[in-house]
């Protein structure tokens, strides 16, 4: 029986606004993180501040926003109206205080909860606000929500607007670092959704003249099957086409806010799009045949939007506003009018669209029998071969833990055995590969079902029908840091980009870093991930240090593995760079041999015979092969920004 605890008035506490935010930061900014993931808390802090500046622009105040990030400190300056000087401190330190509660001043904005900058303030080691209005300036500085300097109003020649400077608290965001690719994507989305707005990041200008058309052109991998359809009306904008890839790639936005988890507006678009296409062609096409390969960006403006969390990643509103139509009817009416008209005016686009639908239909029917056999094989394998060691978050269907779940894709029984013994059985699963996967570049999806490894991996991840059904938040490639391991890593990345690009684009794919060396003496042990870390560890351990070079994951004991896949696990996200053309890149490196690639390999053989630290007369065949694979992997991962 549980121990009885006395429950009295002394147990009742009232927290201040900053105490509540710091005690329960997840309620306000989602997860914390260190900056590796695009949804880590430090980017939410940046977004909360920039949101306010963008809202000023949407209300017709100020055409530019300046963002500066240096050594972990963030500065955001807009040229809007500025916070009313007498309310500067209240607006950044009193919960549920702000101008957006007054519908006369702000309409169809994102930040309606009066929480944003207060959360930034409470979670920052330094937070400074400056407001400039009509030749007067008011500023205040805080530390973890407490005022450290409250300056009197003073005259200024600065233009109207607001300037926020903050440094996230390292006791909350441990070891944080802003990754500029995540910041750049965030800022590009702002300018795509607000044509005419200029955003400067450390002096570099971001601006879009064509809105979502520019967004789709910049984010598409490869060429569209037909020219991008770009249509818009009051409170809605859409860019849509089909690509050569599988699945759906839909980016959705509400009042300028990116909603990576979609919501009611995205669901309304997916349903209305199929209905309008069916009506236009007069055919009852299968839903999957219409949507497979769709690439779209949809933006709506909603009055008083309701999101499912403070981080606003998923829209919950069912209508366009308190007195507006439902999102479903609004979306259908828009597409029925604008998309139908576009297809009638552009018959060549309509023909290309129908050709893609019919192609999807043929492939679906061809795969029907193969899928049935593949599912049976996958079920049998999961029962008898135990390739998948699942985690309890899924075995017990505890959905509240799925955001924390991870699956490691390993090579060989030794590595998978060590990880399996060391893992957290509640949130970490392991999938064991058998040998090198097939190079699937240029192949059709039929190969996913015919190849046992791919079929079982697809079944383990539960991504056959939709990436939305993915059973693990993080998919981590855990291979050896040798030639074979890097080759397997490249083959797996090719597999995901070829058939399930959304898994990469939505930030689910990672590469596990494992130590190359162990340096120890009788008192201490250090695990080192590169030569520089090894040198530091050798100095700490002294001349009698024992140095071990790990040649593969199978050599690392389960006890040691617990250090590498625990709280301090080092994983690098696979991020598609804005300028990367993935199909062209994979075609060069993973396609059939070409003279260009042969030339690349010859020119990139790194036989470092003149290296003063190299005592060998020549490189071994394995070293040369390793150098070539290193170059290929480095080039691919540089484009992907791993």
Q: CATH number of the domain that 26 lies in?
A: 3.30.565.10
Measured CA distances, 502 to 81, 164, 469 (Å): 40, 35, 12
Output the domain CATH number for residue 241.
3.30.230.10
Residue-level pLDDT at 507: 84
C-alpha count within 13 angstroms, C-beta hemisphere, residue 198: 10
| 196 lies in the same domain as 224 | no
Q: Within 10 A of 94 (CB to CB), how many other CB atoms are there?
A: 13
The torsion of the CA quartet 275, 281, 284, 287, rounded to 10 degrees, works out to: -50
One domain for residues 414 and 425: yes
> 481 and 596 share a domain?
yes
Query: At which of 159, 177, 206 does a domain end?
Result: 206
Alpha carbon distances (Å) from 358 to 89, 222, 295, 343, 500: 61, 21, 17, 17, 21
Same domain for 347 and 229: yes
Judge whether 442 lies within some domain.
yes
Distance separating alpha carbons of residues 168 and 166, to the nearest angstrom: 6
Contacts of 566 (CB under 8 A, 6+ apart): 424
What is the number of alpha carbons within 13 Å of residue 553 lying toward its C-beta?
30
3-state class of 603 per DSSP? helix
**pLDDT confidence of residue 270:** 94
Q: Based on the number of CB atoms within 10 Å of its own CB, is 51 exposed (0-12), middle (13-18) or buried (19 or more)?
A: buried
How do strand 198-201 and strand 64-70 relate by DSSP bridges? parallel
pLDDT in tens, 1-56: 456 667 666 666 666 767 778 877 777 777 888 888 888 899 999 998 998 899 88
Q: Are residues 202 and 84 in the same domain?
A: yes
Q: What is the pLDDT of residue 396?
A: 52
Beta bridge partners of 70: 73
Residues in a beta bridge with 511: 477, 572
Residues 449 and 367 sit within 8 Å (Cβ to Cβ): yes
**Structure confidence at residue 386 (pLDDT):** 67
Q: What is the mean pLDDT of each run of 10 residues along the chain (642 residues)?
A: 61 68 78 84 92 87 94 94 89 66 51 68 93 93 92 92 94 90 92 93 94 90 89 93 85 86 90 96 94 92 77 79 86 94 96 95 83 70 68 59 83 82 88 84 80 86 83 89 80 86 85 87 87 90 87 78 80 70 61 59 46 42 47 54 56
In a domain, 28, yes or no: yes
Give the CATH number, domain containing residue 421.
3.40.50.670
**Contact (Cβ atoms closer than 8 angstroms) between residue 320 and residue 303:** yes
Q: Both 304 and 195 in a single domain?
A: no
44 and 153: one domain?
Answer: yes
- C-alpha to C-alpha distance for 407 and 470, rounded to whole angstroms: 11
Residue 376 belongs to a domain: no
- Examine the domain organization and report whether 202 and 246 are in the same domain: no
Cβ–Cβ under 8 Å, residues 641 and 578: no
Rounded distance between C-alpha atoms, residue 389 and residue 416, angstroms? 9
When divided into structural domains, the chain yields a total of 4
Structure tokens at 377: 């094989």
pLDDT in tens, 98-134: 545 445 445 555 554 446 788 899 999 999 999 999 9
CA 451 and chain centroid, separation: 29
- 435 and 349 housed in the same domain: no
Q: What is the per-residue pLDDT for 33?
A: 83
Model pLDDT, residue 112: 40
The C-alpha atoms of residue 263 and residue 308 are separated, in whole angstroms, by: 9
At 9 the pLDDT is 64
Query: Which pLDDT belongs to residue 606?
Result: 44
Task: Check residue 76 and give its pLDDT.
Answer: 96
Domain assignment present for 358: yes
Residue 466 inside a domain? The answer is: yes
245 and 317, same domain (yes or no) = yes
Tokens of 476: 């981590």
Q: State whether 444 and 586 are in the same domain.
A: yes
Tell whether 368 is covered by a domain: no
pLDDT tens per residue, range 470-512:
889 899 998 887 777 888 888 888 888 888 888 888 889 998 8
* Domain termination residue (choose one: 206, 231, 264): 206
Range of the domain at 543: 517-549
| Residue 347, in any domain of the structure | yes
4 located within any domain: no
Residue 188 and residue 257 share a domain? no
Q: Do the beta carbons of residue 154 and residue 136 sit within 8 Å?
A: yes
State the DSSP string of 371-418.
HHHHHHHHHHHHHHT--EE--HHHHTT-GGGGGG-EEEEEESHHHHHH
Looking at residue 593, its pLDDT comes to: 55
Contact 26, 310 (CB under 8 A): no
Q: Which two tokens stand for residue 371?
A: 């899928």
């Amino acid at each position: 029986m549980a121990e009885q605890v006395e429950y009295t008035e002394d147990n009742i506490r009232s927290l201040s606004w900053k105490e509540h935010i710091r005690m329960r930061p997840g309620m306000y900014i989602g997860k914390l993180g260190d900056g590796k993931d695009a949804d880590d808390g430090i980017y939410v802090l940046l977004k909360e501040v920039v949101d306010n500046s963008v809202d000023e622009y949407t209300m017709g105040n100020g055409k530019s926003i300046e963002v500066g990030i240096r050594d972990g400190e963030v500065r955001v300056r807009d040229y809007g109206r500025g916070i009313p000087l007498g309310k500067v401190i209240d607006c950044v330190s009193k919960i549920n205080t702000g101008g957006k509660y007054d519908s006369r001043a702000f309409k169809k904005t994102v930040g309606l909860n009066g929480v944003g900058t207060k959360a930034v303030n409470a979670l920052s080691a330094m937070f400074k606000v400056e407001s400039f209005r009509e030749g007067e300036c008011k500023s205040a500085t805080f530390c973890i929500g407490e005022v450290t300097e409250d300056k009197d109003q003073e005259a200024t020649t600065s233009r109207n607007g607001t300037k926020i400077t903050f440094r996230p608290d390292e006791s909350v965001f441990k070891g944080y670092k802003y990754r500029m690719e995540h910041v750049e994507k965030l800022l590009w989305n702002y300018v795509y959704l607000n044509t005419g707005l200029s955003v400067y990041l450390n002096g570099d200008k971001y601006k879009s003249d064509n809105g979502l058309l520019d967004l789709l052109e910049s984010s598409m991998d490869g060429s569209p099957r037909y020219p991008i359809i770009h249509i818009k009306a009051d409170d809605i904008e859409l860019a849509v086409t089909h690509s050569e890839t599988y699945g759906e790639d839909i980016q959705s936005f509400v009042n300028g806010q990116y909603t990576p988890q979609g919501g009611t507006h995205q669901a309304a678009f997916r349903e209305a799009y199929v209905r309008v296409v069916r009506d236009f062609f007069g055919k009852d096409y299968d839903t999957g045949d219409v949507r497979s390969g769709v690439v779209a960006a949809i933006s709506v403006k909603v009055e008083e939007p309701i999101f499912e969390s403070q981080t606003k990643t998923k829209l919950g509103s069912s209508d366009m506003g308190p007195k507006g139509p439902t999102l479903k009817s609004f979306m259908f009416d828009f597409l029925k009018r604008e998309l139908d008209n576009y297809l009638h005016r552009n018959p060549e686009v309509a023909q290309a669209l129908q050709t893609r639908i019919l192609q999807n239909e043929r492939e679906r029917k061809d795969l029907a029998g193969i899928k049935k056999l593949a599912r049976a094989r996958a079920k049998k394998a999961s029962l008898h071969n135990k390739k998948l060691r699942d985690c309890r978050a899924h075995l017990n269907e505890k959905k509240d833990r799925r955001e924390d779940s991870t699956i490691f894709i390993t090579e060989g029984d030794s590595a998978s055995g060590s990880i399996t013994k060391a893992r957290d059985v509640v949130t970490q699963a392991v999938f064991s590969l058998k040998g090198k996967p097939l190079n699937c570049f240029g192949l059709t999806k039929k190969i996913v079902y015919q190849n046992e490894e791919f079929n079982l991996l697809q079944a383990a991840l539960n991504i056959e029908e939709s990436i939305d059904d993915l059973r693990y938040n993080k998919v981590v490639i855990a291979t050896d840091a040798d030639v074979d391991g890097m080759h397997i890593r490249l083959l797996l990345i090719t597999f995901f980009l070829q058939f399930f690009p959304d898994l990469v684009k939505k930030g689910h794919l990672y590469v596990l870093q494992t130590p190359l060396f162990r340096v120890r003496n009788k008192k201490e042990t250090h695990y080192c991930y590169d030569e520089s870390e090894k040198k530091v560890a050798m100095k700490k351990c002294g001349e009698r240090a024992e140095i071990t070079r790990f040649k593969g994951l199978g050599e690392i004991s389960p006890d040691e593995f617990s250090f590498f896949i625990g709280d301090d696990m080092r994983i690098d996200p696979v991020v598609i760079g804005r300028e990367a053309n993935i199909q062209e890149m994979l075609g060069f490196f993973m396609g059939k041999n070409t003279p260009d690639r042969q030339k690349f390999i010859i020119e990139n053989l790194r036989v470092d015979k003149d290296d003063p630290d190299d005592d060998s007369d020549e490189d071994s065949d394995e070293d040369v092969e390793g150098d070539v694979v290193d170059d290929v992997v480095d080039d691919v991962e540089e484009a992907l920004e791993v």
